[in-house]
A and B are shown apart, each in its own frame.
Chain A
Amino acid sequence: AQKVTQAQTEISVVEKEDVTLDCVYETRDTTYYLFWYKQPPSGELVFLIRRNSFDEQNEISGRYSWNFQKSTSSFNFTITASQVVDSAVYFCALSEAIAGGTSYGKLTFGQGTILTVHP
């Protein structure tokens, strides 16, 4: 069975600090996708990034960057120069191939990390 662990329950930082959110996953599949979602106080999950298990290249998008390391089954997320608007719950999620391996289905989520950025 697949599993996603976000060991950090809550993180509190001061604005402009860098912060890294950890994600460790377990799966028996060789092909899978990893995701990060943000859930602000309004409650709606907002898609941030998707990463294919075959693509270990790190990615940077503005103040966000992601570090995928298959060897340690980790997919960590860093926010550089954090802002108050980054305050939210962040979820890491994993999807596995549906039978046949041609597409991907349900997501398995971690428990989330509550990030609070203080002014």
Chain B
Amino acid sequence: DTGVSQDPRHKITKRGQNVTFRCDPISEHNRLYWYRQTLGQGPEFLTYFQNEAQLEKSRLLSDRFSAERPKGSFSTLEIQRTEQGDSAMYLCASSLSSRTDTQYFGPGTRLTVL
């Protein structure tokens, strides 16, 4: 049984560059979530999809951030014109929409913006 996978695991970039992360959810899960976690803090919700529809976006998701889930399977999160404040762990989770909706997390992508 394959869990949630994320690629890359680590990304170092220079300020102003664009970066893209990928998340592959558990195969039968129709919901996919993105969270951001900074050092010493709990994860904060960014956005989520049900199938290919993006149903909610946090105010944390500035216009430099965009997420897609084109075929309702994998998802990408792109950050344009990265800033040092974007340095964080980006976590993806998936779930099977139900009354309980337990989310299972991937290993995360650690972004460092120099």
Q: Which residues of A are interface residues toward B (Cβ below 8 A)?
A: 4, 33, 35, 37, 42-47, 50, 52, 91, 93, 95, 102-112
A interface secondary structure, majority: strand
Set B56, B99, B103: member contacting A107, Cβ < 8 A: B103
- B85 at the binding interface (Cβ < 8 Å): no
Q: Check A104/B100 contact, CB under 8 A, given A44-B106, A45-B105.
A: yes
A-B contact count (CB 8 A): 64
Instruction: Given contacts A43-B89, A91-B43, list 12 more A-B pairs with CB under 8 A.
Output: A4-B42, A33-B100, A43-B108, A43-B110, A93-B42, A102-B99, A103-B99, A104-B101, A105-B55, A109-B43, A110-B42, A112-B42
How many Å from the CB of A61 to the closest CB on chain B? 15
Inter-chain CA distance A74–B47, complex, in Å, is 27
Inter-chain CA distance A23–B94, complex, in Å, is 24
